[in-house]
Structure 1
Amino acid sequence: MWGIRLIYNSEISLSRQIFLSFMERILTGEIKQGEALPSTRELAKGLGVSRNTVCEAYDMLWTEGYIVSRQGAPSRVANGLHIKHKKAESPKDKKREQAQVLWDFKTGQPDLTHFPWQLWSQIMREAACELPIRELEYSGPKGYEPLCEEIAQWLFRSRSMEVSPEDIFITSGATQAIRLLVEILHKDGQPFALENPSHPGIRTVITDKGYPLLWMPVDGQGADISILKDKEISAVYVTPSHQFPLGGILPARRRAMLLSLAIEKNFYVIEDDYDSEFRYSGAPISPIYSMDSSHVIYVGTFSKTMFPALRLGFAVIPKPLQGKWKHYRNYMDVQNPVFEQAALAKFLQKRKMDKHVQHMRRIYGEKRNILLSSIEHTFGPSAHPWGDDSGLHVALQFPGMEFGYQFVRDCRETGIRVSPLPRYCLTQTEHTDKLLMGYGHLNHIQIQEGIRVLHQLIKFNNPQV
């Protein structure tokens, strides 16, 4: 009756099914405004349900304004409810279905198969059981204090950094830290200085706010700091321990110049230390923060040391900025979930992080060696790796070649995902002879096969290779 079909074994009550059926037909105009609905007794008889069920449905329609009723008169559809929907236009050119990615050289992806998931689950359970009830209240923008204390000790063990726990603020990864710092450090009319090339996400965070940028050229030793000498800027963002994406290490002379300018011109340096745990020849590089912490904001994350979905990072905030940080964080999302913070504190306190990083450093070092030896064996002198012996990616230079959008499309159709360097640059005409290749999440066979297929594809387009 009235096109209403009831499902008796549904989790939705019969009265609500009647309500939803009328609502949908009223909104689409199938039932016109002013049209009278059947009496509750008539509809109940036609549907084979109790009158109380229909009365409950009509009451919902009346309460939400879909019908109007008067004593002794039939219920009628209210005015102004018909919503005219435009039909979705089908695209003129359907995108071709992309081939399955078989060899995915994306960057920044750790190997999750070696993470101690059983141990982590156990620690999560322990943290949940031991967490005091008071920690389930709003705790504010600082973060779980035991985690701040463990991070301070972790930084001392892994990087020889002396940091007070009261200066450590927990974040939802490094991206949130950068977004907050852009808000805090912005000065009207003064640009943020970024490396060129750099991660597109960083410049997006800044340009989305409409703030200007100043680009620092990058060579084999990182950013050229001299370009800042005569400039007034809001802040400088750098990746000094392993420049992303080219991989250079910012030398002490450039670091000293950057700190001197920061003190002289009163700006802050945002130091993003995104993967310095994974260095395969020697100890991790000392951060700029260790030289002078007065004008440096150190940003770290556990996305690569543990797993990206954890969404926990931290920032070491100088005291003059802590008031603003708390204000902006309070009105962003207040705090991170406490259970993950408590578990991570235990993971660090039990030295499980130290053991895991040591284990993964060996595994990633082997993968890097497999990648580089495969490249040397396959490409010979026509491919040249850039950067320090660290991290989870390699920048490869192929002198005399150019890799554009067509090359990326050809790779995807072949089942390969690689990133040409120009997508990380100010313009698409820079570093056109370089590819960025991540390897952390790939096994040895995937690396070797992927390099072989990549060589065939490049050789097809460049017979001289």
Structure 2
Amino acid sequence: MHSGERLPSTRDLAASLRVSRNIVVEAYEQLLAEGYIEGRHGSGTFVSEGTYLEGLADEKFPSIDMRSDSSRYETELIDFRPGIPALNLFPRKLWGQLAEYTYINGPDAAFGYGKPEGCEELRSVLTRYLRRTRGVICEQEQLIITTGATQALSLIAKLMLADGSDAVIEDPITHEIQTMFSMPGTTLYPVPVDHQGMQTQLLPLDIQPSFVYVTPSHQYPLGGVLPIQRRVQLIQYARSTGCYIVEDDYDSEFRYESAPVSSLQGLDPDRVIYIGTFSKILSPALRMGYLILPQSLIARGRNLKRLTDLHTPSMEQLTLARFIDEGYLDRHIAKMRKIYRKRRDFLIATLMASFADRITIMGHSTGLHLVVEFTDVVFTPSLLDAIEQNGVKIYPVEVHAMNKGKQNHRIILGYGNLTEAEVAKGIQRLAAALSQAARTSSTA
């Protein structure tokens, strides 16, 4: 019907449609409330002016299946994605029992708006836990509960960076970090990484950065552990330039050759901003992380967190607090460390059996991934695509490099969420794809 056109009376329309008049009256009242029709005294009901919106031209959108990352191996693709824990080993039953207890017995206040820094129960438990396991020196007032490490990093970027700011980061480092820290007007200074992490002797001396970002416990992606000499040099640099150090304690819990190394934060709590997450320990689905700020940044950090999302979900915080306080987290980490070590050892053995002296394995002492350096392979986009078409997905280090062209012979293989059978099949497919690529190249 067009603007100005008269509608039939409710009685006539109900009769013609053979429905109750009350239904027609309700429909007219709804159209009237939304402005589609208007009543004219003594004349009836008419279609209002300005109610027609011209439709857009039909667009051909791909189906859901076409838009997904599917391939002909979709149902059996072996994905060596790093940073994923064993999802099938999450303690579902125990977590469900703790969550049920929290929902039934939690205080009424827990169902309202929480504090931006997080619930006191979790911050108190977490403060004690980090002191005991990571050598972190802090009070619970310094701790802010975040929705994963990603939010913590985003808060730091907003808190510390502005137009004209400088920041020092590792190279290579995850591409997402580069994106988050690339604020308008900010200059990033990459410092090369070797087998021991950031090469602190190469820190830029002619700038005053807002912060230096490091992953000292397990550098991502190359896997080095920053030794004490470089830690001391890094802290001396921060003190001399007046900047902060952002310590992303990536993969610190799963160290296989010795006890986990202590945090960098414990050496200078006033100079280090500390980030942790439970995504690798438990599950990415929890979206639970934390940020420890020096005293001078607490007020601004809390306010920024409040403006971002008010607070992290309270029920999950209370459940996690009980999970830690009652010792379940310690037992889960001990159990998973044994499982991940076995999976790592199997992956290394399989790689050596398949490629022997063609490779060097790096960064395997800690975490849920390792790096493989090939002596005779350059992982171009076309080669990576051919490998995926052969049913295995691997991750190039080069994607995370700021200075391009130096990392394209290295790949990242995550093993936390893969069984030994899947690892064996994946490496077999990788070897087959590389052999095929070599034959094609030789005949070209």
- Normalised to the residue count of structure 1, the TM-score between the two structures is 0.89
Q: Does the CA-based 8 Å contact 1:242-1:388 persist in structure 2?
A: no
Structure 1 counterpart of 2:71, from 81, 87, 98:
98
User: In structure 2, what is the equivalent of residue 290 of structure 1?
Assistant: 266
**Which digits, 9 at most, give the CA deviation of each residue in 1:255-287, with x for residues without a partner?**
112111211221111100121100100010111
Give the Cα–Cα distance (whole angstroms) in 1 for the partners of residues 345 and 98 of structure 2.
34
Are residues 1:312 and 2:285 paired? Answer: no
CA deviations 1:55-77 (Å, max 9, x no partner) are 11111111111112211213221
Cα deviation for residue 208 of structure 1 reads 5.3
The 5 A counterparts of 1:246-257 are 246-257=222-233
Which stretch has the larger CA shift, 322-331 or 98-107?
A: 98-107
2:237 is the counterpart of 1:280: no
Residue of 33, 36, 47 corresponding to 1:77: 47
- Contact residue 187 and residue 234 of structure 1 kept, 8 A: no
1:176-225 superposed Cα distances (whole Å, 9 cap, x missing partner):
11111111111431222211111111111122555331111111111122
| Percentage of matched positions with identical amino acids | 35
Q: CA deviation at 1:148?
A: 0.9
Which has the larger displacement, 342-351 or 136-145? Answer: 136-145
Secondary structure of 2:44's aligned partner: coil
Q: 1:189 to 1:175 in 2, by over 3 A?
A: same
TM-superposition CA deviations, 1:27-49 (whole Å, max 9, x none): xxxx2222222211111011111
How many aligned residue pairs are there? 434
Are 1:118 and 2:68 an aligned pair? no
Matched, 1:197 2:155: no
> 1:113 deviation in Å?
1.8
Note if 1:235 corresponds to 2:211: yes
Q: What SS does structure 1 have at the residue aligned with 2:371?
A: strand
Residues 154-233 of structure 1 correspond to what in structure 2 (within 5 A)? 154-207=129-182, 209=184, 211-225=186-200, 226-233=202-209
Map Cα deviations across residues 135-169 of structure 1 (whole Å, 9 max, x no partner).
Answer: 33323212111111111121123223333222111
- 2:28 equivalent among 52, 58, 78: 58
Residue in 2 that maps onto 1:425 = 401
CA distance in structure 2 between the aligned counterparts of 1:210 and 1:368, rounded to whole angstroms: 42
Are the equivalent residues in 1 in contact too, given 2:157–2:183 (CA < 8 A)?
Answer: no
Measured in 2, the distance between the counterparts of 1:456 and 1:405 equals 17
Q: Which residue pairs with 1:4 in the alignment? A: none
CA-based RMSD: 1.9
- Superimposed CA distance per residue, residues 397-419 of structure 1 (whole angstroms, 9 cap, x where no aligned partner): 00132102112211221121111
Amino acid at match of 2:71: Q
Distance 2:108 2:285 in 1: 25
Does 2:3 align with 1:33? yes
CA deviation after TM superposition for structure 1 residue 316, in Å: 1.0
Q: 2:410 aligned with 1:434, yes or no?
A: yes
Aligned partners of 1:173 and 1:210: how far apart in 2?
Answer: 26
* Equivalent residue, structure 2, for 1:127: 102
AA partner of residue 180 (structure 1): L
Gaps of 5+ in 1: 1-30
Q: Aligned partners of 2:364, 2:390: CA distance in 1, in Å? A: 30
- 1:5 is matched with none
Give 1:381's aligned amino acid. D
Measure, in 1, the Cα distance between the counterparts of 2:46 and 2:53. Answer: 18
* Paired AA for residue 24 in structure 2: V
Instruction: Give the AA of the match of 2:418.
Output: L
Q: Which residue of 2 aligns with 1:407?
A: 383
Q: 1:147 maps to which residue?
A: 122
SS at match of 2:281: coil
**1:436 corresponds to which letter in structure 2?**
I
- 1:34/1:192 CA distance change after superposition, 3 Å: same
Please give the alpha-carbon distance, in whole angstroms, between the structure 2 residues aligned to 1:240 and 1:438. 19
* 2:277 aligned partner: 301
Aligned structure 1 segments of 4 or more residues deviating by more than 6 angstroms: none
After TM superposition, give the deviation of residue 427 of structure 1 in Å.
4.6
- Cα deviation, residue 429, structure 1: 2.0
User: Does the CA-based 8 Å contact 2:10-2:24 persist in structure 1?
Assistant: yes
Distance 1:140 1:209, change over 3 A: farther
Q: Which moved more, 1:314-323 or 1:129-138?
A: 129-138
Tell me how far apart the structure 1 counterparts of residues 239 and 427 of structure 2 sit (CA, whole Å). 47
Q: In the alignment, is the contact (CA less than 8 A) between 1:242 and 1:390 conserved in 2?
A: yes
5+ residue gaps, structure 2, are none
1:214 match: secondary structure = strand
Residue 335 of structure 1 is aligned with which of 295, 305, 311? Answer: 311
Alignment CA distance shift 1:427-1:36 (3 Å):
farther
Offset from partner CA, 1:330-366 (integer Å, 9 cap, x none): 1111111111111111111111000000000000000
Which residue of 2 is the match for residue 270 of structure 1?
Answer: 246
Q: Which amino acid aligns with 2:174?
A: H
- Say if 2:172 and 2:193, in contact at 8 Å, map to a contact too: yes
Task: Give the letter for the 2:53 counterpart.
Answer: I
Map 1:442-453 → 2, pairs under 5 A = 442-453=418-429
Q: In structure 2, how many angstroms separate the alpha carbons of the residues matched to 1:287 and 1:349? A: 21
Bigger mean CA deviation after superposition, 184-193 or 42-51: 184-193
Instruction: Give the TM-score, by structure 2 length.
Output: 0.93
Rounded Cα–Cα distance in structure 2 between residues aligned with 1:156 and 1:35: 75
**Helix, strand or coil: the match of 1:69?**
strand
For residue 315 of structure 1, give the secondary structure of its aligned residue in structure 2.
strand
